[in-house]
């Protein structure tokens, strides 16, 4: 963590009056507000027939055989010139918030600064231009990147094997459960149930259900951890696996995971650990030492790679001794002469008879692998350890500096891990988490994760990550503090936030229930 503050703001300067407060009522003919530009839909600005390039007129008509395929009505394309198109998308992009503009305090997402070095490495032609169908002897360098990254992931987690092909956290969960199912079926022991704590990320029960299991929920204790007694009481010969997030979604370390894992193994079941929160413990805790059988690692959270907007992601799954024989194809093997080889279906009967199949067409997300390995190598083992230390320190700094104005439901459970959990308990009647979150937009910040985890009413989950400076945390903390005070005092204006954003508060329920996904010609 460093104390450089690019914005030049210091806590002792107090809140700055943004001129927009005074100019909110200024009328402009265009709707633009200085550099904040209004932008219509592309279909509203294009003229039919407009085009970015000039085509020669076609001589004569089409051949008879092609006639049935000739378009009867003009194609409803927007029709813009190249500069108009570029401006349209650039204007839209400026209405977006980005990690390069400010912090993204989204709990559970680990939205950190991505070093430019990693981007540079991923764009090197030798990595960026390889094709997954190239002969293996021509891509030995790319395979070496995957193999070396795999070894780092095994070392960091204390696990003997890793499936590199899953393309996101949730995809990794599916991979892990399919390995577990293959292992159970191999011993003729089909089971039906997967136990999931109620604090779990939504993808956990969804994955278990998708894999064909019946999901049963395990309650949390008052201190925000999984109820070990309730979990152990439910264990039995019908349970295939327990899915536990550690650190969990309340931002707390599951201290009893080892004992839980022993109890799970005693009934012949497996432990799936959701490793999306690995950022809090990387370099300090090896999940393999805690009895975990399978855990996905979100490379796009812990190990660099810009994420958000749906991807790309990468979710390698580390596997225990018991599950390695069932991992998916393809994977990389080292030949006696040092050449790297891809083990595919044709090799599987001899080299990997337990393989349940494949998770994706090819080797996985190559661009994510190069970024992750560049990130790991540039930090080194000691740097990765510092990442988790700084991430946890930053979250605790926010937790302790805000708990006098915001309810911290598990503040008494000890230090948090990499995210601080608050609730709207104590807000004036009629005010809730959404008001504070929308107010943060006016303050120039992306809101935190809201209403998750579900075990806390009106939850606000703040994950600052290790890449925010103390000055940056103070600025975010000051904004949250000011909004919490307004919500406690019942400041009606807060109910109308955001006032200064390109769009006001939207009806999210209506947008979800009746989405308008297609532009229609105005009648
Ligand atoms: C992000 C996340 C996931 C899902 O990962 P994706 O890459 O988005 O599929 C699962 N569990 C937790 C706790 C997460 O934070």
Q: Is the CB of 114 under 6 A from ligand 1?
A: no
- Please tell me the predicted confidence (pLDDT) of residue 17: 56
pLDDT in tens, 425-475: 999 999 999 999 999 999 999 999 999 998 899 999 999 999 999 999 999
Least confident of 54-58, 68-72, 353-357: 54-58
Q: Please state which of the ranges 52-66, 314-328, 376-390 shows the lowest mean pLDDT.
A: 52-66
Report the pLDDT value the prediction gives residue 395, as an integer from 0 to 100.
98
Cβ 401 vs Cβ 478: under 8 Å: no
CA distance 151 to 293: 17
pLDDT at site 520: 65
DSSP letters, 401-459, are HHTTTSB-TTGGGS--SS-EEEB-TTSPTT--HHHHHHHHHHTT----EES-STTSTT-
Distance 204 CA to ligand 1 centre (A): 9
Q: Is the CB of 274 under 6 A from ligand 1?
A: yes
Fold topology of 380-500: 3.90.1150
Query: In the predicted model, is pLDDT for residue 276 greater than 80?
Result: yes
Would you list the DSSP string of 91-149?
HHHTTS--TTTS---BTTT---PPPHHHHHHHTSHHHHT--TTS-GGG-HHHHHHHHHH
pLDDT at 23 over 70: no
Tokens of 298: 């979100």
Assess whether pLDDT exceeds 80 at residue 279. Answer: yes
Please indicate whether residue 62 or residue 52 has the higher confidence score (pLDDT): 52
Residue 490 CB partners (closer than 8 Å, separation 6+)? 428, 429, 430, 431
Q: What is the pLDDT of residue 108?
A: 92
Distance CA 364, CA 163 (A): 9
**pLDDT of amino acid 33:** 81
Listing from the earlier edge strand, what are the strands of the sheet with 161-163? 161-163, 317-319, 294-296, 270-274, 239-245, 193-197, 214-218
Task: Choose between 19 and 194: higher pLDDT.
Answer: 194
CA-nearest residue, atom 5 of ligand 1 = 169
| 3-state secondary structure labels for all residues of 187-242 | CCCCCCEEEEECCCCCHHHHHHHHCCCEEEEECECCCCCECHHHHHHHCCCCEEEE
Q: What is the pLDDT of residue 211?
A: 96
* Distance in Å, CA 315 to ligand 1 centroid: 9
Phi, psi of 141 (to 5 degrees): -65, -45
- Burial code (b: 16+ CB inside 10 Å, e: under 16) for 57-96 equals eeeeeeeeeeeeeeeeeeeeebbbeeebbeebeeeeeeee
Average pLDDT estimate for 159-167: 97
Supply the pTM of this predicted model: 0.89
Span 120-146, average pLDDT: 94
Rg of the Cα atoms in the chain: 26
Tell which atom from ligand 1 comes closest to the C-alpha of 173: 10
Share of the chain above pLDDT 90, in %: 72
The average pLDDT across 356-373 equals: 94
Expressed in angstroms and rounded, the spacing between residue 238 Cα and the centre of ligand 1 is 27
Tokens of 368: 């994510």
Residue 523 reports pLDDT greater than 70? no
> Which of the listed ranges 16-30, 353-367, 394-408, 489-503 does the model predict with the highest average pLDDT?
394-408
pLDDT band at 291 (very low <50, low <70, confident <90, very high): very high
**Angle value at C-alpha 302, between 298 and 304, nearest 5 degrees:** 100
Mean pLDDT, residues 236-250 taken together: 96
Higher pLDDT, 515 or 253: 253
pLDDT of 408 reads 97
Model pLDDT for residues 196-216, shown as the tens digit of each residue? 998 889 999 999 999 999 999
Q: What pLDDT score was predicted for residue 310? A: 59
Instruction: Choose which residue among 111, 170, 455 to substitute to test ligand 1 binding: the one with the highest number of ligand atoms within 8 A of its C-beta.
Output: 170
4 has a pLDDT exceeding 60 = no
Q: What is the mean pLDDT of residues 220-247?
A: 96
The span from the CA of 473 to the CA of 437, in Å, is 17
Looking at the predicted structure, is the pLDDT value of residue 14 above 80?
no
Hey, which of 109, 110, 201, 302 would you mutate to test ligand 1's pocket, going by the most ligand atoms within 8 Å of its Cβ? 201
For the segment 380-386, the average pLDDT, to the nearest whole number, is: 97
Please check the confidence at residue 139 and state whether its pLDDT lies above 80. yes
Residue linked to tokens 């994510």: 368
Alpha-carbon distance of 110 to 147, in angstroms, equals: 25
Is the predicted pLDDT of residue 1 greater than 50, yes or no? no
CA of 218 to the centre of ligand 1 (A): 19
CA-nearest residue for atom 14, ligand 1, is 276
CA contacts within 13 A on the Cβ side of 10: 4
206/1 Cα distance (integer angstroms): 37
pLDDT beyond 50 at 5: no
> Looking at the domain 117-372, which fold is it?
3.40.640
Domain boundaries, the chain: 117-372, 380-500
């Amino acid at each position: 963590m460093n104390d450089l503050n690019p914005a030049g703001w210091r806590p002792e300067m107090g809140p700055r009056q943004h001129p927009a407060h005074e100019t909110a009522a200024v009328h402009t003919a265009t709707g633009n507000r200085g550099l904040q530009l209004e932008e219509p839909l592309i279909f509203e600005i294009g003229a039919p027939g407009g085009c970015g390039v000039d085509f020669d007129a076609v001589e004569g008509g089409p051949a008879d055989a092609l006639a049935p395929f000739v378009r009867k009505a003009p194609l409803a394309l927007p029709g813009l010139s190249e500069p108009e198109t570029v401006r349209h998308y650039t204007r839209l992009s400026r209405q977006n918030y980005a990690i390069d503009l400010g912090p993204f305090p989204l709990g559970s997402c680990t939205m950190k600064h991505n070093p430019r070095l990693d981007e540079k490495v991923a764009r090197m032609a030798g990595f960026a231009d390889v094709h997954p169908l190239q002969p293996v002897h021509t891509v030995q360098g790319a395979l070496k990147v995957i193999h070396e990254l795999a070894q780092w992931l095994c070392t960091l987690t204390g696990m003997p094997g890793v499936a590199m092909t899953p393309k996101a956290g949730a995809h990794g969960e599916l991979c892990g459960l399919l390995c577990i199912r293959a292992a159970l079926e191999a011993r003729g022991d089909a089971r039906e149930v997967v136990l999931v704590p109620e604090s779990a990320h939504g993808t956990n029960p969804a994955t278990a259900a998708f894999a064909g299991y019946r999901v049963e929920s395990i309650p949390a204790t008052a201190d925000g951890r999984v109820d070990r007694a309730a979990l152990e009481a439910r264990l039995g010969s019908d349970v295939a696996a327990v899915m536990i997030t550690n650190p969990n979604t309340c931002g707390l370390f599951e201290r009893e995971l080892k004992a839980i894992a022993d109890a799970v193994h005693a009934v012949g079941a497996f432990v799936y650990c959701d490793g999306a929160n690995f950022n809090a413990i990387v370099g300090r805790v090896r999940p393999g030492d805690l009895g975990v059988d399978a855990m996905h690692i979100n490379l796009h959270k812990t190990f660099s790679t810009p994420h958000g907007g749906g991807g790309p992601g990468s979710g390698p799954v580390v596997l225990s001794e018991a599950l390695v024989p069932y991992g998916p194809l393809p994977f990389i093997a080292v030949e006696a002469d040092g050449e790297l080889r891809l083990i595919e279906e044709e090799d599987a009967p001899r080299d990997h008879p337990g393989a349940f199949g494949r998770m994706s067409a090819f080797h996985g997300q190559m661009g994510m692998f190069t970024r992750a390995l560049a990130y790991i190598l540039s930090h080194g083992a000691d740097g990765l350890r510092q990442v988790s230390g700084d991430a946890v320190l930053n979250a605790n700094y926010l937790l302790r500096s805000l708990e006098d104005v915001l309810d911290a439901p598990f503040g008494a459970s000890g230090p948090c891990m990499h995210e601080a959990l608050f609730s709207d308990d104590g807000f004036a009647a009629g005010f809730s988490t959404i008001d504070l979150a929308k107010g943060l937009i006016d303050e120039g910040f992306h809101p935190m994760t809201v209403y998750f985890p579900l075990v806390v009413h009106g939850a606000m989950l703040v994950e600052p990550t290790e890449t925010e400076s103390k000055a940056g945390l103070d600025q975010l903390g000051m904004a949250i503090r000011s909004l919490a005070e307004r919500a406690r005092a019942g400041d009606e204006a807060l109910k109308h936030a955001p006032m200064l954003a390109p769009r006001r508060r939207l009806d999210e329920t209506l947008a979800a229930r009746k989405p308008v996904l297609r532009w229609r010609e105005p009648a």
